[in-house]
A and B are shown apart, each in its own frame.
Chain A
Amino acid sequence: MRSIVEQGLRDAWREAARWWLPTMLLACVTLLLAARLVEDSGSATAGLPRVVTIGVALPLFAFGLAARATGSRSSLMRGEWARHGESRRAYAVGRLCMTLLLLGLTALLLSGAVVAYEALIPASRGAAAAAADSPQRLALAATCTAFAYGPAFALAQLWKGTWGRSAYVVLDWMLGSATGLIALPWPRSHGLAVLQGDGVAGLPPWASVLALVSLGALAVALYAHRVPR
């Protein structure tokens, strides 16, 4: 069992790490730089890079990574080790673990990049607001959001492939921006709530952290359940 989980970790790393991971990281950092420039130009609210990290960069990164690292349903079914008798479920969980690890590290890296920008090049207008926000809160929001997005995209990929992931990201952007009860099942709303210190549908911010962890755990359980043994 352990060796097949390790095999899943290795295969996910091989699929994601070659050129895709550095390229996407570079794209995310570029996106944050652009957000910083927009913020400096005065046409946006303060703390835009933080919002972009949680609301745009992380979902898109998870969208791409889930497809590469966890693989499609047919690639899981045809996986060589599972074909010769290893547990497909353990292998898939191994791949998902690597996806979560990479997403967590990316979330921390992007948070670090944002904090470093703010420290090195203070924005003319948003410096005070940015200084008021603690880096820990940004890191917590990014990590929890990444933990919620990873398995959710993996599950959507397993369910309906690219269409499933696309539908999830569109629904997350549309419904996750709402304020009522409809925003409760979407990571975007909780991630921004943790970042900005207010709750979703009247809940306290710590409830959003709990909701993100619960959403992630639920998606992991559903993902493992849906992969055939």
Chain B
Amino acid sequence: MTRVVARLTLDSVWSPPLRNLCLDLNTGLHVVVGCNTDGAATLVDLCAGVLAPRRGRVVYEGREPHSSHQLRRQTASLLANEPGAPGEPPSGWWRRVVSQRSSAPVSNEPPSLATASSFGSLHLDQRRQLALELALSHPAPAVVALHDPLSVPGDVTLSKRAERIAELARSAVVVVTASALHHARMLGGQVYALERGVIARRPPSAWPAALTPGLPVTLRVDCDSPRRLLARLATEPCVELAHYDAKREPRRLQIRGPDLEALSLALCRAAEAANVQVWSLGPASLDLGGLHAASAGLAQAAFREARSGRAGRTEPPSPGSPEPPGRPKP
């Protein structure tokens, strides 16, 4: 089976807070890590065609989402602020949108949430839940733009949602924003970091190991007896590395393994067997602030390196030589 590769291009897009954003997104999953103030919501709006860029172009196969209703029909989207359709019952809205997508008779029954009398009686999370279900039920989208889909509450587990998104990514350009790094990790795909309107990191450049999908994950465990727990965990095959610093953090243990679920289960088994009380458990990965700080540090280091390299290449002028042209005198 041949895989058709389409491309969604954002060419020098200015749309506050996005600043001169350039992205070439092929068919597949693209996860953009960032919050709304970084421009994540605006990026999804642009891809969904509900916002026209102030400058620059958003193009999918020669068509712009904001000016092509045929393309919008092939677009599944979840916005940051889902307005719903005021004056329309959610069930009617659902049926109409589903029938609008294809000429086939409507077989997709609306979810239970759609039985509400109006959109006004649903709060934002519920409206987003409805919109996400509608987006993920699209039979054959060309573009999928989802704003923080794993933070939407609902009956469906996160892993099932992530699986459906990965399934859609086989034939569509899928742009997903995530404000939490563990969500980005769960989704996988190509990961970009959006910071204050610009892409601060993009593949295949350096990326924190704590975030890269497929690389080992580290768990941070706070408990009453880390030594006993460590002794038990040493026999577990899924634990690759355990770290304990009795001086700095006497109640904290860090364990690393290839699989988050397996690691968590092993930890639970060991805690039960060693009769250890676990107080808290979480991924020892960066948060968004840490990621931005790391990006800023890398950028600063690169700038310094470039500056020192240029200074090293430049010959110091001899006392009698003239000033280079175009250089202002102090």
Contact = CB atoms under 8 A, between A and B. Distances in A.
B60 to A, nearest CB: 14
Max count, chain A CB within 10 A of own CB: residue among B74, B77, B100: B100
B69 A88 contact: yes
Contacts of B75: 85
A83 B67 contact: no
B87 A11 contact: yes
Nearest to B45: A78
Interface in A83-118: 83-88
Contact of A228 (B66, B97, B101): B66
Interface in A50-89: 77-78, 80-88
A85 B103 CA distance: 13
A103 to B, nearest CB: 22
B93 A228 contact: no
Interface in B69-96: 69-70, 72-75, 77, 83-88, 93, 96
Contact of B52 (A10, A81, A85, A228): A228
Interface residues on B, range: 20 to 34
A118 B66 CA distance: 53
A25 B267 CA distance: 72
Contact of B85 (A77, A81, A87, A229): A81
A94 B253 CA distance: 64
A14 B50 contact: no
B68 interface: yes
A229 B52 CA distance: 11
Given A77-B52, A228-B66, A84 B87 contact: no
A83 to B, nearest CB: 5
A228 B46 CA distance: 14
A167 B75 CA distance: 38
A77 B70 CA distance: 15
A10 B87 CA distance: 9
Given A85-B73, A85-B100, A85-B101, A80 B66 contact: no
B48 A83 contact: yes
B51 A83 contact: no
B130 to A, nearest CB: 12
Interface residues on A, range: 10 to 19
Nearest to B51: A77
Contact of A83 (B52, B68, B70, B77): B77
Interface in B201-242: none
Given A77-B50, A228-B52, A85 B87 contact: no
B278 to A, nearest CB: 46
A80 B83 contact: yes
Contacts of A77: 50-52, 66
A11 B66 CA distance: 21
A82 B103 CA distance: 17
A14 B101 CA distance: 26
A80 B84 contact: yes
A85 B68 CA distance: 8
A80 B256 CA distance: 46
Contact of B68 (A10, A78, A86, A229): A229
B69 A86 contact: yes
A117 to B, nearest CB: 37
A6 to B, nearest CB: 12
A83 B72 contact: yes
Interface in A107-166: none
B28 interface: no
A83 B50 contact: yes
Contact of B69 (A11, A14, A78, A85): A85
B83 A84 contact: no
A228 B96 CA distance: 22
Contacts of A87: 69
B69 A229 contact: yes
Contacts of B66: 77, 228
B14 to A, nearest CB: 17
A228 B85 contact: no
B72 A82 contact: yes
Interface string B100-141: 110000000000000000000000000000000000000000
A13 to B, nearest CB: 10
Contacts of B96: 81
Given A80-B93, A228-B66, A85 B85 contact: no
B75 to A, nearest CB: 8
Given A77-B66, A85-B69, 10 more contacts: A14-B86, A80-B84, A80-B88, A81-B100, A82-B69, A84-B72, A84-B97, A84-B100, A86-B69, A229-B68
Interface of A: 10-11, 14, 77-78, 80-88, 228-229
Among all A-B residue pairs, the 5 with the closest Cβ atoms: A85-B73, A80-B85, A228-B67, A84-B97, A85-B72
Interface of B: 48-52, 66-70, 72-75, 77, 83-88, 93, 96-97, 100-101
